[in-house]
Amino acid sequence: MKCYIPIHSGFCFGVDLAVKAAYKNLDTSTYMYGDIVHNPSVIADLRSKGLGLVDSLDDIPNGKDINVLIRAHGVSESIITEVKNRGYGIIDKTCPRVKKVHEIVADASCRGLDIIIIGTPNHPEVLGIAGWAKTQTVVLRDLSDAQKIIPNTSFSEKGICIIAQTTHNKERFEQVYKYCSSVLPHIEHYDTICDATAIRQEEIRRLSLTVNCVIVIGGKTSSNVTRLYEIASEYNNNTHHIESANEFDVSALKGVDSVLLASGASTPESSIAEVVKCIENYCLKNKLSFELLKP
Ligand code: F3S
């Protein structure tokens, strides 16, 4: 059994910075504003070690020296203002690449441009990005959304700024941008898809074709993990998405001699290692050779 792990695996640098900050601030007066990473095992570990978790600032109990930890996805301008107004300390771990998108949106909006975000509606990163615009924002997931929504929306005469959620699928971004530029005038566009995401998507696309089975490891609510699962499924019909080794059903390996372990930017190395162990045990039990490869 050949078990492939892509070179780009485990936390991306933005998530890594945020998770390290969380472990550095394990005290009862620090609250994560939303899950610091879309990975239930990491969140459970942080919570068991004392870090608070709230989805609204109103859920923070009264107390002294309260700090609010902002995750890599970032938040809207109004949340930052509210944290400051309440006198809380702020540990802002918004990924620098997401911050850059906030700056683009704030600047375009100040110039009167409406904003089109190509991404997943209601995803926390998308809500955060939209919260830096003063003008109209429209969120489009894919080409079919664009074809339905754009003809029925009136936009600012000053123009439109198009950006992407950092973890969005590159092909979808390009399709939607192409459509918008064919029907709308005065467009500025910025490909804000993060390299860490684009490289992983490309690797998965290429490697999924060369193996008999793909296991995508990562949180079910993680946007970048879901994108990887969608891409791998297109190229390999024996593709499975699991959050952790506990969900892994070894029957997926029946008759398989090569498997790809793909993981998202929010998947810790430890989760990948646990799945490797399961595959190794399966090989041992079935008297199969086992080889771990990083192509
Ligand atoms: Fe940042 Fe890219 Fe990760 S935007 S959080 S480095 S996927």
Domains contained in the chain, CATH given: 2-9+195-293 (3.40.1010.20), 13-94 (3.40.50.11270), 97-189 (3.40.1010.20)
Considering the chain, what is the average pLDDT of its residues? 94
Q: Which atom of ligand 1 is nearest to the CA of 194?
A: 2
In this prediction, residues 55-66 reach a mean pLDDT of: 92
Of 229, 293, 225, the residue nearest 259 (C-alpha): 293
Q: Quick check: CB of 201 below 6 Å from ligand 1?
A: no
d(C-alpha 139, C-alpha 63), whole Å:
38
Q: Quick check: CB of 200 below 6 Å from ligand 1?
A: no
The DSSP bridge partners found for residue 65 are none
pLDDT in tens, 131-149: 999 999 999 999 999 999 9
183: CA distance to ligand 1 center in Å? 31
Q: Quick check: CB of 194 below 6 Å from ligand 1?
A: yes
Reply yes or no on whether the pLDDT at 184 is more than 90.
yes
* Structure tokens belonging to residue 21: 């900050």
Of 275, 251, 226, 288, the residue nearest 4 (C-alpha): 275
Percent of the chain residues past pLDDT 90, beyond the cut: 87
Q: Which atom of ligand 1 is nearest to the CA of 11?
A: 3
Q: Quick check: CB of 190 below 6 Å from ligand 1?
A: no
Edge-to-edge strands of the sheet including 187-189?
137-140, 114-118, 160-164, 187-189
Q: Quick check: CB of 290 below 6 Å from ligand 1?
A: no
Alpha carbon separation from 10 to 19, 93, 125, 164, 265 (Å, rounded): 12, 18, 20, 23, 6
In this prediction, residues 61-78 reach a mean pLDDT of: 93
196: CA distance to ligand 1 center in Å? 6
Other beta carbons within 10 angstroms of residue 280's beta carbon come to 15
What residue's CA is closest to ligand 1, atom 5?
14
pTM for the model: 0.87
253: CA distance to ligand 1 center in Å? 32
Q: Quick check: CB of 101 below 6 Å from ligand 1?
A: no
How many Å separate Cα 16 from the centre of its chain?
Answer: 13
Reply yes or no on whether the pLDDT at 295 is more than 80.
no
195: CA distance to ligand 1 center in Å? 8
52: CA distance to ligand 1 center in Å? 23
